[in-house]
Chain A
Amino acid sequence: MSKRSFSHWLYVVPALVILAFFLVYPAVHTIVLSLGDKTGEGFAGFSNYRFAFTNRTMQSALRNNLLWVAVFTAGTVGLGLAMAVLLDRVKYERIAKAIIFLPMAVSFVGSGVIWKFVYSFRPASVAQTGLLNGIVVALGGQPIGWLIERPWINNFALIFVGIWIWTGFCMVVLSATYKGIPKSLLESARLDGATEWQVFWRITFPLMRSTIAVAATMMLITVLKIFDVVYVMTNGNFGTEVIANRMYKEMFQFKNFGRASAIAVVLLLAIIPVMIFNLKRFREQEAIR
């Protein structure tokens, strides 16, 4: 064994070097930059952080991110769970699952084009080409600027695109756990006269709780970093700004590295508690192995 005692480093070191360069170094560098001024040469103390929490656009971005966190997480996990349970009862489960999972394979740019087209808005005098306004007008309504009407309609329109992309992921994860629950357990409850609703809340839900937590933490990490959907569809205009898009703008449009870095650090700090929860779970699993 002594001959082998150092060879493990040969396996790990390539990965560690690349990770150190592409993730660790930039993270540390960003923390340093966040205390600096616009160009990153002078020292600015915590003024960038003050900006991150007091600037009006930033506050709106923080608010919107909170809305995303609540609606997106509840939407993806809730709908994914509903689909996992309901699809188990129908014969066309495979096809339905493929349909709901499909958006995962499409790029955010592709999804952006798809949904911009769905939300497309034209004056009432000409025919609508967007599906949603086509329906609204057919029902006798006035066309709506889905991506312009602030603050609720456009933010919900964007969040729905996110839900459309990620529900399939939650569905697949939750469905695997649901199929692992012994059907005899559910059957005997039904025979004892429990309604479907009771079976779900008293038996299914408690048994799936840990997987639901996993899916929810994954969605939380995703939604905190949400960028592409907003970038492609509105670029944060009309009051739809989110933290990650704001960071991108500070960095590449305004070239203010201090502010951009401070926003990045805020984002990092928001994600860390979620990650700790995840790692705790990993340790518990390892203890069983």
Chain B
Amino acid sequence: MSEKIVRALTRSPLHIAIIAICLVWMLPSVGLLVSSFRPAVDVTNTGWWSVFQTPFKFTQFTLANYVEVITDQGMGRAFVNSLYITIPATVIPILIAAFAAYAFAWMKFRGRNILFIVVVGLLVVPLQMTLIPILRIYNRLGLSGSFLGIWLAHTGYGLPFAIYLFRNYFGGLPRDLFESAFIDGASRLKVFFKIVAPLSVPAIASIAIFQFLWVWNDLLVALIYLGGTADVAPMTLQVSNLVGYLGQDWHLLTAAAFVSMALPLAVFFALQRFFVRGILAGSVKG
């Protein structure tokens, strides 16, 4: 028994260090969440931590901030726009990347490795560099301000990473599977849908989550190609507009920020397993 106590005592610095870091990582978000439920007067006059002096006094909390940002401040509309942007901008690049990665992993052709290295090398191109040239062409084609334009743009920006991850994953599938299928006379397309896709559900899921979060959380691409009009603006754009003109109205800003975070947080918690696996596929093999 006393041995247990000694052990617990010698390990206490470990626990203290870990818990301290977890607190630092958590408290900023807790502050955001708590403030979003407080009335405007309280948010401006006292720190959010003062609610813990009377934690069970429920009258100090209100849903009014949420009602206001969703109806009057356009966050409801922005939520729908975000969905409308994000879903196609997740599905299209996954399809195109998976086909390309399949060829890079399992078809032999001249220049295959060079092409693949060029594709991965495109990861270095800073996004900001592409905005002006693309925007000029978009203006000429009438694609700026349209959802189609932003779907295609997100596809382009997402492809190098998605192809890289898929290529790594597909390359790790057992060779025998392919050889026996081809000997049986299966076409390449059939092998893709009957063998590669079903075996790659974890990779597809993890890339889907990555792309989903990236598009959902994107501000810059939407800002440039969609413009700031409220009928197409996604949530990130709306929140950053609110930061601009609500300034110090923290009760509304915190609520708006939390509305924009709700869906990605839900996706993250539901699919955390795949998310982690996806990162690993890209960095540590085996």
Contacts and interface: CB of A to CB of B under 8 A. Distances in A.
B147 to A, nearest CB: 16
A21 B137 CA distance: 10
Of A33, A108, A215, most B-chain CB atoms within 10 Å: A108
A195 B35 CA distance: 46
Interface in B112-138: 113, 115, 117, 119-134
A109 B44 contact: no
Contact of A19 (B35, B127, B159, B276): B159
B132 A257 contact: yes
Interface stretch (B11-19, B58-66, B197-205): B11-19
Interface residues of A, number: 90
A107 interface: yes
A27 B31 contact: no
A75 B193 CA distance: 43
B18 to A, nearest CB: 6
B142 interface: no
A65 B79 CA distance: 34
A12 B119 CA distance: 11
B14 A86 contact: yes
A18 B96 contact: yes
Contact of B129 (A90, A218, A268): A268
A25 interface: yes
A127 B156 CA distance: 49
A173 B46 contact: no
Contacts of B239: 107, 109-110, 113
B45 A102 contact: no
Nearest to B129: A264
Interface size class of B (residues with CB under 8 A): 35 or more
Nearest to B258: A110
B265 interface: yes
Contacts of A177: 284
A22 B218 CA distance: 17
A218 B165 CA distance: 14
Interface stretch (A47-55, A184-192, A197-205, A221-229): A221-229
Of B109, B128, B257, B285, most A-chain CB atoms within 10 Å: B128
A4 B283 contact: no
Contact of A131 (B28, B123, B129): B28
A153 interface: no
B243 A12 contact: no
Contact of B133 (A25, A103, A104, A244): A25
A244 B18 CA distance: 34
A173 B47 contact: no
B122 A24 contact: yes
Interface stretch (A66-74, A114-122, A144-152): A114-122
B283 A218 contact: yes
A101 B25 CA distance: 9
Contact of A102 (B25, B100, B156): B25
A181 interface: no
Contacts of A23: 122, 125, 130, 156-157, 160
Nearest to A93: B18
Nearest to B192: A11
Contacts of B257: 109-110, 113-114
B280 A176 contact: yes
A108 B243 CA distance: 13
Contacts of B25: 99-100, 102-103, 164, 167
Contacts of B155: 18, 22
B217 A106 contact: yes
Given A27-B125, A228-B220, A18 B49 contact: no
Given A108-B217, A176-B280, A232 B240 contact: yes
B178 interface: no
B21 interface: yes
Contact of B126 (A86, A116, A244): A244
Given A113-B254, A251-B131, A105 B267 contact: yes
B77 interface: no
Of B253, B267, B276, most A-chain CB atoms within 10 Å: B276
B207 interface: no
B279 interface: yes
Contact of B128 (A21, A83, A264): A264
13 contacts: A4-B188, A15-B99, A26-B130, A90-B15, A99-B22, A106-B264, A107-B239, A113-B253, A114-B32, A129-B48, A228-B220, A247-B128, A279-B120
Given A131-B28, A282-B117, 7 more contacts: A11-B188, A87-B18, A106-B265, A128-B47, A173-B284, A211-B284, A214-B283
